[in-house]
Structure 1
Amino acid sequence: MITITQLEYVVAVDTYRHFVTASEKCFVSQPTLSMQIKKMEEELDVVIFDRSKQPVVPTQIGEVIIQQARKSLAENKRIYELVKEHQNMVEGELVIGIIPSLAPYLLPLFAGSFSREYPKVKLKIMELLSEDIIDQLNKDRIDVGLLVTPLHEKGIQEKSIFYERMFLYVNNKHQLASKSKVEPAEIAGEGLWLLSHGHCFRSQVVNLCSFHDKIKNEISINYESGSLETIKKLVEKEGGYTLLPELSIDDNVLNNRYAQVKNIGESDPLREVSMVYSRNFSKRQLLNLLYEHIRISIPEHLLSQADGHIVEWRD
């Protein structure tokens, strides 16, 4: 009979791809963990991990078994969550991954007030790039992600929270500053500052202003940064322009004497911000509470897509 413990050990080895590290994370000795996995393999008459490779990798049948093991562990956790929901208990840990272009502007709106309203819920929040959030969800290292969608990712559920407009932020001395209206195609030019590779907002900017691969290749990038705040300062002090999501636009941006905010095109380009989680998500009560709390914490006009169009970042 396969045990929950054996399933946990198998998933841990798949997550960390190392028996010693997996045993440390499971708080058992490495021989104990290895023995339990070996017993499971013998019972099933299959080899789950190819131990000849470093790091260890699942075999073909092992990948299928691990996928089912993750589902089984999630359903096991769900039993405990059902009891908590029945008893109206709001407690536990919620591990959240959030993208860097969202964290500084969204977290202050909800994190503190959520913790005060639900003091028995421990929030553990990590800034991660979008692809890393997807990877961490698939490996059950985080419970939920806050990022830009759509993802079109198998096994990941998306629940839209709000839609924020994308604006042009341009230095007053740049030629775009004199235009009453800036079209997306005009953005692909000299002086554009971008976030570095891996940031979904960078990909959205490229997709918005690049209707053809030719335009993508012609974008002139003077400097790339991992911080929108750094890019704002570069626009103000060094010139050029960038794109900013709505939540990042504060009074310092709106009233800056060196740069100005402009609308883009006829239809508002939007980024859709969603809560994402795996289909095996067991903490549904906490997820729903977090979702509703974020919705009431942000400006009401962001809740509707209205007439804007969503700019995708994944090809």
Structure 2
Amino acid sequence: MVTLVQLEYVIAVDTYRHFATAAEKCFVTQPTLSMQLKKLEEELGIIIFDRSKQPVIPTDIGKAVIKQARSVLSEVRKLHDTIDFFQQKISGELKIGIIPTLAPYLLPRFIGDFVKTYPDLKVHIKELLTEEIVEYLHKDLIDVGILVTPLHEDGIIAKPMFYEGIQVYPHPEHRFANQSQVNMAEIADPEIWLLNEGHCFRNQVLNLCSYLNLQQHSLPIEYASGSLDTLIKLVDKEGGFTLLPELAVEDLPINKRVQVKTFIDSFPLREVSLVYARSFVKEKLIGILEQAIQQSIPEPMLSANRGTLVEWQ
């Protein structure tokens, strides 16, 4: 008879593509995990994983079994969540993925009060790029992501929460510093500092200023950062300018916040959403997380009507 434990082991091996790592994540020895998977394969009369490959990969029929195993385990979780819902319990685990351009500015606003309000809920948070959050959601490695949408991803549901303005942060001696506002066309300039590839905010900036056509960089260093804070420090030290989302601007000290410029002809926005897989059933948790985040955000940022949404894909 197929057991839920065996299905959990199948999912773990598919997720990590390594028997030792899967066993470690399941808190069992590798021989125990391997034995249970062998018993499952004998019960079904198939081979689920091709063990001759490194990393191990599922066979064609194994892929179908893995898909069904994920569905079965999702329904089991739904059973427990249904019981918790009727018992009005907020407990268990909530695994959150959040993009790096949001994490340092958003998490401190709400996470402390959130965990104090729900002490029986164990919250795990991991900083991930957008594509990693999508992958983790599909593999059930996280429950929910906090990222920038629209996402246009099959099987993923997005709940928009708030809208950050995109603003200009120039060096005090840059020409933008003496302007009350910046014309949108002016930011298509080789003196702009950018995030690394893989960051959705980088793509939004590229979409905003059509920077893709610029090949030359007039700054003394050719560098792409993985951190908004690093970009701010580079601007302060080396000159030029960068673009910042609104929560990062709110986090600046007052003497630096006065350097920030808005645009003359537009107020570009990025949409921040909670995202989760269609199979995720902890709707009550999603609701309380959404409420906690929105209560921590300045009220004007809750409206999409104050500007123009900039897509990043």
* Residue deviations 1:52-110 (CA, integer Å, cap 9, x gap): 10110012222222122112111101111111111111111111111111111111111
Gaps of 5+ in 2: none
Contact 2:190-2:216 within 8 A present in 1 as well: no
Q: What SS class does the counterpart of residue 261 from structure 1 fall into? A: coil
Q: Could you tell me how far apart the structure 2 residues matched to 1:175 and 1:68 are? A: 59
1:227-251 CA distances to partner (integer Å, 9 max, x unpaired)?
2122112222321100010011137
Which aligned pairs between 1:90-129 and structure 2 lie closer than 5 A?
90-129=90-129
Q: Distance in 2 between matches of 1:49 and 1:35?
A: 13
Instruction: Measure the CA separation in 1 of the matches of 2:256 and 2:32.
Output: 62
Pair 1:252–1:43, CA change in 2 (3 A): closer
Please say if residues 205 and 243 of structure 1, whose CA atoms lie closer than 8 Å, have aligned partners that are also in contact. yes
1:263 aligns with 2:262: yes
Counterpart Cα distance in 1 of 2:218 and 2:259: 21
CA distance in 1, matches of 2:272, 2:286: 15
Q: Given that residues 196 and 202 in structure 2 are in contact (C-alpha distance below 8 angstroms), is that contact kept between their aligned partners in structure 1? A: yes
TM-superposed deviation, 1:179: 4.2
* 1:146 matched residue in structure 2: 146
Note the alpha carbon deviations across 1:151-204, whole angstroms, 9 max, x for none: 211222111111110001112322333445433332121211112222221121
Counterpart for residue 275 of structure 2: 276
Cα distance in 2, alignment partners of residues 271 and 252 from structure 1: 19
Matches of 1:139 and 1:121 in 2, distance apart? 22
Deviation of 1:295 after TM superposition, in Å, equals 1.2
What is the aligned partner in structure 1 of residue 73 from structure 2? 73
Tell me if structure 2 keeps the 8 A contact 1:189–1:220: no
Work out whether 1:289 is the aligned partner of 2:262: no
What are the Cα deviations for residues 290-315 of structure 1, in whole angstroms up to 9, with x where unaligned? 1111111211111110142222222x
Q: CA deviation at 1:36?
A: 2.4
Q: Helix, strand or coil: the match of 1:255?
A: helix
Q: Distance in 2 between matches of 1:305 and 1:182?
A: 21
> 2 CA distance for matches of 1:296 and 1:83?
28
Instruction: Tell me the residue number matched to 1:58.
Output: 58
How much has 1:131 moved relative to structure 2? 1.6
CA distance in 1, matches of 2:259, 2:297: 24
- Aligned residues of 1:267 and 1:307 also touching (Cα < 8 A): no
**Separation in 1, partners of 2:173, 2:180:** 15
Structure 2 Cα separation of the partners of residues 144 and 242 of structure 1:
30
Aligned to 1:300: 299
> Displacement, 1:224?
1.9
Larger mean Cα displacement after TM superposition, 46-55 or 174-183: 174-183
What is the aligned partner in structure 2 of residue 240 from structure 1? 240
Question: How far apart are the structure 2 equivalents of 1:311 and 1:65?
Answer: 40
Counterpart in the other structure of 1:190: 190
C-alpha distance in 1 between matches for 2:107 and 2:188: 31
* TM, length-normalised to structure 2: 0.92
* Residue type at the aligned position of 2:176: L
Q: Deviations over 1:104-159 (max 9, x none)?
A: 11111110111121111111111122222122222211111111112211222111
The question of whether the paired residues in 2 share the 8 Å contact of 1:188 and 1:218 is answered with no
Structure 2 CA distance, aligned partners of 1:251 and 1:133? 25
Between 1:148-157 and 1:175-184, the stretch displaced more is: 175-184
Unaligned runs of 5+ in 1: none
Q: What TM-score do you get using the length of structure 1 for normalisation?
A: 0.91
Match of 2:309 in 1: 310
For residues 283 and 251 of structure 2, the distance between their equivalents in structure 1, rounded to whole angstroms, comes to: 37
Aligned length: 311
Which residue of structure 1 aligns with residue 162 of structure 2?
Answer: 162
RMSD: 2.1
Q: Percent identity?
A: 57
Task: Report the residue type matching 1:187 in the other structure.
Answer: I
